[in-house]
Chain A
Amino acid sequence: MPEDAAMTTLEFANVSFSYNPHGFMEQLSFAVAGGELVGLMGPNGAGKSTILKLAAGLLSPQQGEVLVGKRAIRSYGGNERAQLVAYLPQTLDTQVPFRVAELVGMGAYPRSGEAALTVGEALHLTGLGGKATAFLTELSGGEQRRAYIAMTLVQGARVLLLDEPLASLDIRYQFDLYRLLKDIARDKGVSVCLSLHDIGMGALLDRLLLLKRGRVVAEGDPGSVLTDEMVRDAFDLDDAADSYTAAHRAVGLALERQPR
Chain B
Amino acid sequence: MKRARGTALVATALCVASLCVIIISIASGPRLLNPFTMDRETCRTLLAIRLPRTAAALLMGGALGASGAILQGIFRNPLADPYILGISSGASLAASFGLMFGLSLFALSVPLLAFLGAIATGVAVVILGRGWKGLQPDRLLLAGVGVGFFLSALLMLVMTISVDDGLRRAILWMSGDLSLVDWGLLPVGFLFILAGLGLAVARRKGLNALTLGDDIAYSLGFNPARERLALFIAASLMTAASVALGGVVGFIGLVVPHVVRRHVGSDAAVVLPLSVVAGGTLLCVADAVGRTVAAPLELPAGVIAALIGSPYFIFLLGRRRIC
> A residues bordering B, Cβ < 8 Å?
56-58, 78-83, 85-89, 92-93, 95-99, 102-103, 106-107, 109-110, 133, 135, 137, 148, 152, 155
Cβ contacts under 8 Å, B208 to chain A: 98, 106, 109
A85 and B265 CA atoms in complex are apart in Å by: 29
User: Looking at the complex, which of B60-68, B209-217, B306-314 is the stretch in contact with chain A?
Assistant: B209-217
Cβ contacts under 8 Å, A137 to chain B: 322
The B201-229 residues at the A interface (CB cut-off 8 A) are 205, 208-209, 211-213, 215-216, 218-223
Q: Annotate B258-272 by CB proximity to A: 1 below 8 A, 0 otherwise.
A: 000100011100000
Q: Are A102 and B266 in contact (CB under 8 A)?
A: yes
Given known A102-B266, A102-B267, A109-B205, contact A96–B219 (CB-CB < 8 A):
no
How far, in Å, is B240 (CB) from chain A's closest CB? 28
B3 interfacial by beta-carbon distance below 8 Å? yes
B321 interfacial by beta-carbon distance below 8 Å? yes
How far, in Å, is B319 (CB) from chain A's closest CB? 13
Summed over the interface, the residue pairs from A and B with CB atoms below 8 Å come to a total of: 78
- CB-contact partner of B265 in A93, A99, A109, under 8 A: A99
Q: Residue of A at shortest CB range from B76?
A: A93
- CB-contact partner of B323 in A83, A93, A97, A155, under 8 A: A97
How far, in Å, is A259 (CB) from chain B's closest CB? 35
Q: How many residues of B contact A (CB 8 A)?
A: 24
Given known A79-B221, A86-B219, A155-B220, contact A106–B261 (CB-CB < 8 A):
no
Q: Residue of B at shortest CB range from A98?
A: B266
How far, in Å, is B286 (CB) from chain A's closest CB? 26
Given A56-B218, A110-B220, 5 other A-B residues pairs in contact with their CB atoms under 8 A: A58-B218, A93-B212, A97-B322, A98-B211, A109-B209
User: Can you show 16 pairs from A to B with CB atoms below 8 A apart?
Assistant: A56-B215, A58-B218, A78-B223, A88-B216, A93-B216, A97-B261, A97-B265, A98-B265, A98-B266, A102-B267, A107-B220, A109-B205, A109-B208, A110-B220, A148-B216, A155-B219
Given known A78-B221, A81-B221, contact A58–B215 (CB-CB < 8 A):
yes
Q: Are B266 and A87 in contact (CB under 8 A)?
A: no
- CB-contact partner of A96 in B212, B218, B221, under 8 A: B212
Q: Are B266 and A82 in contact (CB under 8 A)?
A: no
Q: Are B212 and A106 in contact (CB under 8 A)?
A: yes
Q: Are A106 and B220 in contact (CB under 8 A)?
A: yes
How far, in Å, is B106 (CB) from chain A's closest CB? 45
Cβ contacts under 8 Å, A78 to chain B: 221-223
How far, in Å, is A125 (CB) from chain B's closest CB? 19
Q: Are B211 and A96 in contact (CB under 8 A)?
A: yes
A103 and B213 CA atoms in complex are apart in Å by: 13
Cβ contacts under 8 Å, A95 to chain B: 322
A107 and B209 CA atoms in complex are apart in Å by: 10
How far, in Å, is A185 (CB) from chain B's closest CB? 19
